[in-house]
Amino acid sequence: MSATISNKSHSAHTSRDLQTSAKPDSDTVYPVGTLAKTFTAGALGILVHEGQLKWDTLVRDVLPQSRSRDVTVSHNLTVLDLLCHRGGLARSNHWWQGAGGVLLQEKSYAILGEIIEQARGLSYRDPLVEKIFKPLQLDRTTTADPVATAWPNIAKPYAALDDGSLYPLPQPPVHGDTIIVPAMGISSSVNDLLKYSVGLLRAHRVESTAGNIDDIILHNATTHLAEHIFTAETLPSTVMGMGWNSLYVEKMPVLTPRGHCGQLICHGGSIPGYHSALALLPQIDAAIVVCTNSTGLGDSSGWISMALIEALVDTPSANDFIRYATEAANGHFSSVPALMKKLEEARTSSVPRDLSQYIGRYIDTERDWVIDVRAKEPGQLEVFFQGLESQAWPLNHYEREMFLWITPRDTQAKRARMTTYSQGDIFKLVFMGSDDSIDRVCWLQEPGLFMDKQCFMKEPPSGRLGCITEPAGRHPSCAALWTEGAAYHTNSPVITTEVWGSLDTLRAFAAAGLRHCYFECPLVSLQTITIQ
């Protein structure tokens, strides 16, 4: 852990590597998780100042290829909508849910990274280095993998287990050219984050007082720091923008200043193995930065930040943060057992169908998601997501056609999962179909969407349905499926954009061993069936 305060130039440190007992300092590098969003917002503010973008620039004008199933979103989505998490994009990561029900959308910031690249004609990294890192002398801040580039003095990631011990984790693979870098792929030190915070405070002061904007590096800071990008509170108040601690304590502490200290603006960051917090008090020109290198039992960066805020505002009624942290730790490690107990109490007695009927690949083509179910051993199923062996989990029958892939919290922590869950539906897979077969599975991975909007269709036995572009041709086996009134295309090119048809038809084509076959039914419009 590393922490520092700009107002009084204090710092504190714990350990960055348990194996070597190496101590961190103010230059120790930590992946800062979703604090990366503040740098993306800062780069956009500079581009708006330079006239290369506007806050109301339409996304489709910069990225013509972008589109949404919702026409309103496709036509009207702006840069500011994405910045403020109001773009309506899917989450599908279960890592973040903001205060007040605002869903923090990592995909929004991935798109903003693409917009920065298009506006500048450079990679996402280049304008950050040119416009922010170098001018502010952020020498220990990077979008690259600090381990792969052999940077010294890097904090190693750990996960806290239920017994309080720390388990070493792999370095998060979110850096470099990966698409999610603008949302959570930056690494930095508390010294650099403090320099960045001072730059934000200076820009905020100049813009709020109509000062000389030529004297600042970061521009449009008032928009950058607006609510829904950062969390803003006027003390005395509880603070909800630094971590998930509110899920694990009965009541959050109220931070009370001795006098009027103005607005508190803060932002938390997390990624497996790391938590961070950044807090600004513009009226007293103070900033606090805390970085930790463990996915803890509760978010210690949040509690430490609040304790430092109380010291800065000279609180007349200090909170007992050790008590709060203990309560949060107990609540955190008991959360998964409590969820499993709740599920067991609500469980009804039922027997699944033959397990072989659930086995197969299920696809959501609109969201580009894949769920595979396979036999792990006799009487046991396993689910893995996106075809990744690293995302394989035991799948156990719960009731009727519902299965669970939940495991003990320690198992999840050791596999570098964020172990904070505001609800347990993400562990449920609900299979559907006819009496003799399963044809889909529904997974509530998107908060706010009904189950029938989150279904994955099962592949036909012989292969995957997909879109192709090639001349149509009559397959020799088509004769087996010839029906009166059907006409096969033989010469014209066919570009398929949608695959549809009854499951019985798809199975019939698959059973005939067809790879590509096109048919036209006189009773309905053209149907294209592609078995790949």
The per-residue b/e assignment along 277-300, b for 16 or more CB within 10 angstroms, e otherwise, is bbbbbbeeebbbbbbbbbbbbbbb
User: Which whole number is the average pLDDT over 523-529?
Assistant: 35
Give the pLDDT confidence score for residue 17 in this predicted structure.
Answer: 56
User: Which of the pair, 225 or 507, is modelled with greater confidence?
Assistant: 225
Taking a C-beta distance cutoff of 8 angstroms, is the pair 496, 468 a contact?
yes
**What is the total residue count of the chain?**
532
In 3D, which of 183, 26, 172, 28 has the Cα closest to residue 96?
Answer: 183
What is the CATH classification number for the domain harbouring 368? 2.40.128.50
Taking a C-beta distance cutoff of 8 angstroms, is the pair 79, 59 a contact?
yes
Q: Within this chain, do residues 278 and 403 fall inside the same structural domain, yes or no?
A: no
Q: Which residue in the block uniquely carries the two structure tokens 């580039």?
A: 149
C-beta atoms surrounding 532 within 10 Å: 13
Say whether pLDDT at 405 is over 90: yes
Q: Within this chain, do residues 137 and 204 fall inside the same structural domain, yes or no?
A: yes
Dump pLDDT digits (tens) for 44-102: 999 999 999 999 999 999 988 777 666 777 788 899 988 887 655 554 443 333 333 33
Q: Provide the residue range defining the domain that includes 115.
A: 2-333
Give the pLDDT confidence score for residue 7 in this predicted structure.
Answer: 64
Give the pLDDT confidence score for residue 16 in this predicted structure.
Answer: 55
Q: Which residues pair with 458 in a beta bridge?
A: 362
Distance CA 387, CA 168 (A): 25
Q: Within this chain, do residues 292 and 376 fall inside the same structural domain, yes or no?
A: no
Q: Within this chain, do residues 391 and 487 fall inside the same structural domain, yes or no?
A: no
Q: What confidence category does residue 150 fall into, taking pLDDT thresholds of 50, 70 and 90? A: confident
Give the pLDDT confidence score for residue 105 in this predicted structure.
Answer: 54
Say whether pLDDT at 512 is over 80: no
Distance CA 288, CA 66 (A): 38
Say whether pLDDT at 449 is over 90: no
Instruction: Report if residue 464 sits inside a domain.
Output: no
Q: Within this chain, do residues 422 and 484 fall inside the same structural domain, yes or no?
A: no
Q: pLDDT exceeding 90 applies to what percent of the chain?
A: 44
The helix (run of H) or strand (run of E) holding residue 276 is strand 274-281
Give the pLDDT confidence score for residue 532 in this predicted structure.
Answer: 39
Question: Which of helix, strand or coil describes residue 304?
Answer: helix
Q: Within this chain, do residues 294 and 157 fall inside the same structural domain, yes or no?
A: yes
Say whether pLDDT at 191 is over 70: yes
Give the pLDDT confidence score for residue 44 in this predicted structure.
Answer: 94
Measured between alpha carbons, how far is residue 27 from residues 4, 191, 442 in Å? 11, 6, 47
What is the CATH classification number for the domain harbouring 229? 3.40.710.10
Give the pLDDT confidence score for residue 95 in this predicted structure.
Answer: 36
Say whether pLDDT at 524 is over 70: no
The mean predicted confidence, pLDDT, of the chain is 79
Tokens (6 digits) for 126: 């280049």
In 3D, which of 105, 426, 409, 104 has the Cα closest to residue 248?
Answer: 409
Instruction: Report if residue 26 sits inside a domain.
Output: yes
User: Where is the domain boundary, 270, 300, 333?
Assistant: 333
Dump pLDDT digits (tens) for 169-188: 999 888 877 888 999 999 99
Instruction: Report if residue 216 sits inside a domain.
Output: yes
Q: Within this chain, do residues 75 and 163 fall inside the same structural domain, yes or no?
A: yes
Q: Within this chain, do residues 166 and 297 fall inside the same structural domain, yes or no?
A: yes
Helix axes 321-333, 300-312, angle to 10 degrees: 160
In 3D, which of 434, 376, 448, 363 has the Cα closest to residue 405?
Answer: 376
Q: What confidence category does residue 214 fall into, taking pLDDT thresholds of 50, 70 and 90? A: confident
Q: Within this chain, do residues 294 and 351 fall inside the same structural domain, yes or no?
A: no
Give the pLDDT confidence score for residue 117 in this predicted structure.
Answer: 93
Give the pLDDT confidence score for residue 18 in this predicted structure.
Answer: 58
Q: What confidence category does residue 20 fall into, taking pLDDT thresholds of 50, 70 and 90? A: low
C-beta atoms surrounding 123 within 10 Å: 16
User: Where is the domain boundary, 458, 482, 508?
Assistant: 458
Dump pLDDT digits (tens) for 455-509: 999 987 543 333 322 333 334 333 333 332 233 333 333 333 233 344 455 455 4
In 3D, which of 109, 1, 30, 35 has the Cα closest to residue 267?
Answer: 35
Instruction: Report if residue 150 sits inside a domain.
Output: yes
Question: Which of helix, strand or coil describes residue 137?
Answer: coil
Distance CA 331, CA 325 (A): 10
Give the pLDDT confidence score for residue 508 in this predicted structure.
Answer: 52
Instruction: Report if residue 473 sits inside a domain.
Output: yes
User: Which of the pair, 452 or 114, is modelled with greater confidence?
Assistant: 114
Give the pLDDT confidence score for residue 463 in this predicted structure.
Answer: 38
Q: Within this chain, do residues 446 and 476 fall inside the same structural domain, yes or no?
A: no
Instruction: Report if residue 352 sits inside a domain.
Output: yes
Question: Which of helix, strand or coil describes residue 215?
Answer: helix
Instruction: Report if residue 493 sits inside a domain.
Output: yes
In 3D, which of 224, 232, 231, 186 has the Cα closest to residue 207?
Answer: 224
Instruction: Report if residue 131 sits inside a domain.
Output: yes
Distance CA 193, CA 199 (A): 10
Give the pLDDT confidence score for residue 411 in this predicted structure.
Answer: 92
Strands (E), 359-458: 360-364, 369-377, 380-385, 392-399, 402-404, 428-434, 437-443, 455-458
C-beta atoms surrounding 330 within 10 Å: 14
Q: What confidence category does residue 281 fall into, taking pLDDT thresholds of 50, 70 and 90? A: very high
Q: Within this chain, do residues 306 and 349 fall inside the same structural domain, yes or no?
A: no
Count structural domains, the chain.
3
Say whether pLDDT at 145 is over 80: yes
Q: Within this chain, do residues 328 and 403 fall inside the same structural domain, yes or no?
A: no
C-beta atoms surrounding 82 within 10 Å: 22
User: Where is the domain boundary, 426, 458, 490?
Assistant: 458
